[in-house]
Amino acid sequence: MTKKELIENINALRKEKNAIILAHYYQEAEIQDIADFVGDSLALAQWAAKTEADIIILCGVHFMGETAKILCPEKHVFIPDMEAGCSLADSCPTDEFERFINENPGHTVISYVNTTAKVKAVTDIVVTSTNAQQIVDSLPKDEKIIFGPDRNLGDYINKLTGRNMLLWNGACHVHEQFSIERILDLKKAYPDALLLMHPECPKYLLEIADHIGSTSSILKFATESQNKEFIVATESGILHQMQKENPDKLFFPAPPEDSTCACNECFYMKMNTLEKLYLCLKNETPEIFVEEEIRVKAVKPIKAMLEISEKCGL
Ligand code: 13P
Ligand code: SF4
């Protein structure tokens, strides 16, 4: 099937089945272009919570599909490739995280959305990188907090909020593999470029950034800035929207350690293709299911996140 036929078929099927296609900024450009909505992980959860569609196709990774299913148990939620996981979610096995919680009683448990449904089920409040600071700030100053699984985001939020949260030692393989030497070389080549970075990057990298924020925050910053050149240190899929919204500006992907690659891609995110999206919509598989016992526990911290976010205008 040609790309044009794939697009025509996807458009016909989504209409016929009352399906909505939600895509994360890290998806392939052609998936972003066909989606009903493109956003960061908070916005995808917010869209899933309010959609009236019967079917949600979540073009992202597994935990994003799970979050949509937890919020909308009556809907069918599909992801184009069931193998699209997340190294950060994998760095936090439920039994080990539960042991950590039990070893540190009296703590409120905050988990990044990049976790499995089972980890969310033992969590008090879920956060994303868009709302983590506001959610931590909404808690009393003396509240003892466990933050998991991203040690880099946790460390950064500790610094922003003046807290001393106990951190789980997890990380994302994409954001940990940027090369500081190659970023500095890029800065030398483009001295006017501002360095935009995701808070999943380690501290030694965050220290040289001009702006730190979630994918949507990086996009907003670049759009509102008077500057014309930017080096972008997060998964390179975001450059598609940045370029689309700012055709007169230049965006350079920050390079990884591996000197054969110019940009840094999440291979899980890139498992989804236009063809798999078409097949998923046509065959209604692979479907995301969450055990009801886990779902009823996991929905509480996600709803808590959505409520605080709404109060904060996020
Ligand atoms: P955002 O919440 O910024 O979209 O990040 C999601 C993610 O997976 C980052 O690696
Ligand atoms: Fe997970 Fe990292 Fe990929 Fe985001 S970029 S989905 S945190 S592995």
Distance 15 CA to ligand 2 centre (A): 31
Number of the ligand 2 atom closest to the C-alpha atom of 24:
6
pLDDT score at 268 = 97
Measured in Å, residue 204 CA sits from the centre of ligand 2 at: 19
The mean per-residue pLDDT over the stretch 220-245 comes to 98
What is the helix (H) or strand (E) element at residue 110, kind and residue range? strand 108-112
- CA 240 / ligand 1 centre spacing (Å): 15
Closest CA to 193 of 241, 242, 157, 257: 242
Q: What is the pLDDT of residue 194?
A: 98
Domain 88-171+295-311: CATH class, spelled out: alpha beta
Residue 259 confidence (pLDDT) above 80: no
Which helix H or strand E contains 67, and what residues bound it?
A: helix 62-71
pLDDT in tens, 82-125: 999 999 999 999 999 999 999 999 999 999 999 999 999 999 99
- State yes or no: pLDDT of 262 exceeds 90: no
Tokens of 72: 């909308």
The pair phi, psi for residue 259, each rounded to 5°, is -75, -5
Which atom number of ligand 1 is nearest to the Cα of residue 113? Answer: 2
- What are 161-198's pLDDT values in tens digits? 999 999 999 999 999 999 999 999 999 999 999 999 99
**In this structure, are residues 84 and 269 in contact, taking their beta carbons and an 8 Å threshold?**
yes
Q: Look up the CATH superfamily of 3-84+269-289.
A: NadA-like (3.40.50.10800)
Mutation probe of ligand 1 site: the residue of 173, 211, 212, 214 with most atoms within 8 A of C-beta? 214
Two structure tokens written together for 171: 């990380």
Decide: 58 and 287 in contact? Cβ < 8 Å: no
Average pLDDT over residues 132-153: 97
Q: What is the mean pLDDT of residues 126-145?
A: 97
Q: What is the pLDDT of residue 123?
A: 98
Tokens encoding 83: 């193998």
The token pair at 308 is 């605080």
Which atom of ligand 2 is nearest the CA belonging to 61? 6
pLDDT of residue 258: 84
Residue closest by Cα to atom 6 of ligand 2 = 86
CATH of domain 178-253: 3.40.50.10800
pLDDT tens-place string over residues 35-77: 999 999 999 999 999 999 999 999 999 999 999 999 999 999 9
pLDDT at 146 over 80: yes
Ligand 1 centroid–CA 40 distance in Å is: 6
Assess whether the region 88-171+295-311 and the region 178-253 belong to the same CATH fold: yes
Ligand 2 center to 172 CA (angstroms): 6
Residues with CB under 6 Å of ligand 2 are 61, 86-88, 114, 172-174, 235, 266, 268-269
Angle between helices 41-50 and 62-71 (to 10 degrees): 30
Minimal-distance CA residue to ligand 1 atom 8: 114
What is the distance between the alpha carbons of residues 290 and 293, in angstroms, rounded to a whole number? Answer: 8
Domain ranges of the chain: 3-84+269-289, 88-171+295-311, 178-253
Q: How remote is the CA of residue 124 from the centroid of ligand 1, in Å? A: 20
Task: Tell me: cis bond preceding 149? Omega within 30 of 0 counts.
Answer: yes
Tell how far the Cα of 27 is from the centroid of ligand 2, in angstroms. 11
How many Cα atoms within 13 Å fall on the side-chain side of residue 185?
12
Give the contacts of 246 (CB within 8 A, at least 6 positions apart).
222, 223
- For residue 67, the CA-to-ligand 1 centroid distance in Å is 14
Structure tokens at 26: 């890290």
Spell out which residues line ligand 1, taking CB within 6 angstroms.
Answer: 40-41, 114, 128-130, 172, 200, 214-215
Residue located nearest, by CA, to atom 6 of ligand 1: 41
User: What average pLDDT does the chain have?
Assistant: 97
Question: What separation in Å is there between the alpha carbon of 106 and the centre of ligand 2?
Answer: 30
Pocket residue to mutate for ligand 1, from 32, 46, 114, 305, most atoms within 8 A of Cβ? 114
The pTM assigned to this predicted structure is: 0.96
Question: Residue 132: pLDDT above 90?
Answer: yes
Cis peptide before 286 (omega within 30 of 0): yes
Q: Tell me how far apart the alpha carbons of residues 110 and 132 are, in angstroms, rounded to a whole number.
A: 9
In this structure, how many other beta carbons lie within 10 angstroms of the beta carbon of residue 203?
12
Closest Cα to atom 3 of ligand 2: 266
Q: Is the pLDDT of residue 260 over 90?
A: no
**Of the bound ligands, which one is closest to the alpha carbon of residue 216?**
1
Taking 90 as the threshold, does the pLDDT of residue 301 lie above it?
Answer: yes
Q: Which residues pair with 23 in a beta bridge?
A: 38, 59
